[in-house]
């Protein structure tokens, strides 16, 4: 049987729990899901017909604060996947030490098959179903795969209609003109770039490093653009349809700018004739580069290709891109993995800044947002590195990040006690 993402996340947890010597009680508490919400709901189509869609919202653990996490619209969404992603959000918020628990949501749909009107209908109806469980003090959704600032605006409006007044703090990742935070759009990619800069600080920085980025959405395109600005050579970029290679560096900044106008990566290649060549999609993660950045979907690094990876460093832009088997192979081969719960935590970190701004009705400048992000994520990186080094090389960065995340949630649970 193939390993599901929930299998991976649970076995990562149990591995860390073994290393920490966590009690059975704590293991049970930490692997319990507080709320599992499942709904089937109708959406009116433009032609007057309607279809039933299926959606989920899961709160994993809220010991450290309100449940926080994105909503994805994708055909592969399942309850197990949403649970796995919710659990990762709990550890992620704890790792960067922001006062949130973990949540995730998803609807089984390919948003590309819906008109704008149908997408809005779907979002409004799904939000209406979720009104009893979301809220600025209880559960704050955000964008994820297949959703964006416009979808967050519709969620905010629908929730506000139900309450009878505007509630900007119910979602993050909103358009800036509606109380979204400056810098939120680029925050996940920017956080990845900060973490990589810090990791390579003593080995020449990112300047001249050859980097392969898989995924060219809101995470991949931004990290590629920002690392290029820092002097890295983005020798490979790829989305699900095309992979492009130039040993001297693909102009990722130009590609990102073209995509921001509503085009796709294949269109950029066809229309703009950039200096790069198409290569097989599966060559990107096994390319001869200094760093690979899987920033698309989960489980792209498995036991099948982990032995072929040539890069000494994996920077996880996506959630759960590495299977447990691949992780073990990387450890054995001495390949360093900077884990998702640290590397891609820039998004939720700036979501926290957005939530704080919404609740105080204040606006921060983009400079302040980026500076605070750099401070928080760099400090989390240093804490994790110090912890890993204290294990005298026995632990991976993922182990150390998991220990810190789990310990903080356990500590909050112990301090609060079990009700009643
Ligand atoms: N969806 C993003 C993640 O997986 C951001 C979540 C948030 O901002 O709440 O980390």
Give the residue among 109, 317, 128 at the shortest CA–CA distance from 225: 317
141 CB within 6 A, ligand 1: no
Is 381 contained in some domain? no
171, 155 contact by CB (below 8 A): yes
Please report the atom of ligand 1 found closest to the CA of residue 72.
Answer: 1
Would you give the distance in Å from CA 401 to the centre of its chain?
A: 15
171 CB within 6 A, ligand 1: no
Phi/psi for 124 (5° steps) reads -65, -40
Give the domain extent around 331.
Answer: 187-338
Partnered with residue 214 across adjacent β-strands are 238, 294
144 CB within 6 A, ligand 1: yes
Partnered with residue 37 across adjacent β-strands are 57
Structure-block tokens of residue 393: 């090389």
Residue 81 Cα to ligand 1 midpoint, Å, equals 15
Which residues neighbour 123 within 8 Å (Cβ) at sequence distance 6 or greater? 151, 154, 155, 158
Question: How far is 256 from 228, CA to CA, in rounded Å?
Answer: 11
Phi/psi for 308 (5° steps) reads -95, -10
Is 385 contained in some domain? no
69 CB within 6 A, ligand 1: yes
Q: Length of the chain, please?
A: 420
**Res 3: pLDDT:** 86
186 CB within 6 A, ligand 1: no
**Res 1: pLDDT:** 64
Question: How far is 306 from 96, CA to CA, in rounded Å?
Answer: 28
Is 20 contained in some domain? no
Domain count, the chain: 2
Question: How far is 388 from 52, CA to CA, in rounded Å?
Answer: 48
Q: Looking at residue 116, which CATH number applies to its domain?
A: 3.40.50.10860
Number of H helices, E strands in the chain: 14, 12
348 CB within 6 A, ligand 1: yes
Please report the atom of ligand 1 found closest to the CA of residue 351.
Answer: 8
Percent of residues in the chain assigned helix, strand, coil, to nearest 5: 50, 15, 35
258, 268 contact by CB (below 8 A): yes
Is 102 contained in some domain? yes
Shared-domain flag, residues 252 and 326? yes
**Which DSSP state fits 281?**
G
| Domain end marker among 338, 355, 375 | 338
**Which residue out of 57, 84, 188 has the highest number of ligand 1 atoms within 8 Å of its CB and is therefore the one to mutate?**
188
Please report the atom of ligand 1 found closest to the CA of residue 345.
Answer: 10
> 3-state class of 85 per DSSP?
helix
137 burial class (0-12, 13-18, 19+ CB within 10 angstroms)? exposed
70 CB within 6 A, ligand 1: yes
Please report the atom of ligand 1 found closest to the CA of residue 352.
Answer: 8
**Res 2: pLDDT:** 81
Shared-domain flag, residues 133 and 216? no
Is 377 contained in some domain? no
Tokens 């106008």 appear where?
A: 261
Phi/psi for 52 (5° steps) reads -95, 130
221 burial class (0-12, 13-18, 19+ CB within 10 angstroms)? buried
**Which residue out of 5, 64, 82, 89 has the highest number of ligand 1 atoms within 8 Å of its CB and is therefore the one to mutate?**
89
Please report the atom of ligand 1 found closest to the CA of residue 68.
Answer: 9
Catalytic positions, written as ranges: 104
CA distances from 17 to 22, 24, 308 (A): 5, 9, 30
Is 4 contained in some domain? no
56, 105 contact by CB (below 8 A): yes
Q: What is the mean pLDDT of each run of 10 residues along the chain (420 residues)?
A: 90 97 98 98 97 98 98 98 98 98 98 98 98 98 98 98 97 97 98 98 96 98 98 98 98 98 97 98 98 97 98 98 97 98 98 96 97 98 97 92 98 96
Residue 70 Cα to ligand 1 midpoint, Å, equals 5
Longest dimension (CA), the chain: 66
What distance, in Å, lies between the first and last C-alpha atoms of the chain?
41
Shared-domain flag, residues 249 and 282? yes
346 CB within 6 A, ligand 1: no
**Which residue out of 64, 105, 143 has the highest number of ligand 1 atoms within 8 Å of its CB and is therefore the one to mutate?**
143
How many beta carbons lie within 10 A of that of residue 281, not counting itself?
14
């Amino acid at each position: 049987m193939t390993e599901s993402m929930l299998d991976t996340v649970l076995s990562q947890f149990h591995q860390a729990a073994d290393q920490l010597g966590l009690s059975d009680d704590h293991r049970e508490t930490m692997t319990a899901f507080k709320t599992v919400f499942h709904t089937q709901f109708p959406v009116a189509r433009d032609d007057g017909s309607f279809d039933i869609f299926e959606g989920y919202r899961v709160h994993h653990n809220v010991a450290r604060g309100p449940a926080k996490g994105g909503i994805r619209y994708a055909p592969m969404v399942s309850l197990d996947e949403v649970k796995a992603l919710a659990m990762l959000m709990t550890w992620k918020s704890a790792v960067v030490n922001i006062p949130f628990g973990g949540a995730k949501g998803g609807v089984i749909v390919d948003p590309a098959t819906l008109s704008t009107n149908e997408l809005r209908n779907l979002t409004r109806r799904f939000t209406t179903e979720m009104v009893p469980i979301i809220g600025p003090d209880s559960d704050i959704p955000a964008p994820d795969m297949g959703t964006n600032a416009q979808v967050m605006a519709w969620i905010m409006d629908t929730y506000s209609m139900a309450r009878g007044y505007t509630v900007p703090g119910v979602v993050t990742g909103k358009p800036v003109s509606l109380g979204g935070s400056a810098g939120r759009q680029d925050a996940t990619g920017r956080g990845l770039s900060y973490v990589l800069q810090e990791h390579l600080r003593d080995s020449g920085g990112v300047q001249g490093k050859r980097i392969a980025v898989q995924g060219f959405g809101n995470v991949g395109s931004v990290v590629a653009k920002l690392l290029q600005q820092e002097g890295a050579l983005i020798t490979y970029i790829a989305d699900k349809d095309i992979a492009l290679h130039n040993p001297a560096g693909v102009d990722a900044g130009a590609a990102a700018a073209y995509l921001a106008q509503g085009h796709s990566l294949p269109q950029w290649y066809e229309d703009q004739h950039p200096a790069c060549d198409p290569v097989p999609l599966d060559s990107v993660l096994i390319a001869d580069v200094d760093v690979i950045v899987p920033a698309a979907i989960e489980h792209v690094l498995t036991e099948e290709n982990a032995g072929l990876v040539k890069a000494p460093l994996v920077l996880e832009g996506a959630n759960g891109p590495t299977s447990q088997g691949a992780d073990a192979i990387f450890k054995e081969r001495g390949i360093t993995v900077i884990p998702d719960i640290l590397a891609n935590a820039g998004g939720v970190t700036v979501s926290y800044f957005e939530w704080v701004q919404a609740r105080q009705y204040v606006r921060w400048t983009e400079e302040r947002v980026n500076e605070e992000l750099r401070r928080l994520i760099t400090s989390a990186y240093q804490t994790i590195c110090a912890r890993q080094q204290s294990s005298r090389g026995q632990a991976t960065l993922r182990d150390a990040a998991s220990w810190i995340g789990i310990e903080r949630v356990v500590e909050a649970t112990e301090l609060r006690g079990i009700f009643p």
